[in-house]
Amino acid sequence: MLAWLKSAKAEYDRFILLDRDGVLNVNRADYVKTLAEVSFYPDALRALALLEQKGVGVILISNQSGINRGLIGWEDFFEIHEAVIGRAEECGGAIQAAFYCPHRPDEKCECRKPSPAMIFAACRFAGIEPGQTFFVGDSATDILAAENAGCRGVRICRADSRGTGALAPVEPSFTTLLDAVLSIYGKNF
Ligand SMILES: [Mg+2]
Ligand SMILES: [Zn+2]
């Protein structure tokens, strides 16, 4: 598990956990491998700004098996990571921490979603219990990871999504991150 923390302790009352590819930026069938392949969803950038404005700390939790598949170089990976953090801040948002699993499924690591390990690590960093937060993702494995961790999973199904797996029996699901965030925190949020 790779962990990036903006600071030793994030001073927020509330936190939300977000998947990255397919939630903040457009996912690709052949993985998001270089900065040139990163395309942000405008609604996601607005959602990040809104979350920051309302004092909700954002933590990313992302499987990046493309790394150990040899498809994503480390330099590219870090460049993408920094671009996501930077773009969020340019738009008035902020990301407090990011947890990544670089492993392939056959490595049978402990961190790859649907394992709850990265959610647990995020909650330890945030100083919260999993039951106090939400995990928003676009794949069935995200919802399973949320269930395995004991936090509330929220699925977004984007029109252009490559989110994998059959639709988990969780409703409602949303078409954008902004819709999901407004639903979680209320329209007056
Ligand atoms: Mg995803
Ligand atoms: Zn892993």
pLDDT tens track for 27-82: 999 999 999 999 999 999 999 999 999 999 999 999 999 999 999 999 999 999 99
Residue 43 CB contacts under 8 Å (≥ 6 apart), including other chains? 176, 177, 178, 179
Token digits of residue 53: 């404005």
pTM of the model: 0.94
In the prediction, which pLDDT does 99 show? 98
CB 139 within 8 A of CB 164: yes
> How far is the centre of ligand 2, averaged over its atoms, from the C-alpha of 99 (Å)?
10
Which of 20, 63, 58, 57 has its CA nearest to residue 38? 20
Asked whether the beta carbons of 119 and 17 are under 8 A apart, the reply is yes
Are the CB atoms for 114 and 141 separated by under 8 Å? yes
The one catalytic residue in 19, 43, 138, 142 is 19
Sequence-distant (6+) residues with CB within 8 A of 75 are none
CA 102–ligand 2 middle distance (angstroms)? 6
Peptide bond into 105 cis (omega under 30): no
Q: From the CA of 103, which ligand is nearest?
A: 2
User: How remote is the CA of residue 8 from the centroid of ligand 2, in Å?
Assistant: 23
pLDDT at res. 160:
79
Tell me the pLDDT tens digit for each residue of 100-119: 999 999 999 999 999 999 99
21 is catalytic: yes
CA of 186 to the centre of ligand 2 (A): 34
CB-count burial class (<10 Å; 0-12, 13-18, 19+) for 59: buried
Q: Give the single-character DSSP code of 184.
A: H
Is-catalytic flag, 19?
yes
Give the ligand at the shortest distance from the Cα of 100: 2
Domains of the chain: 2-185 (3.40.50.1000)
Ligand located closest to 105 CA? 2
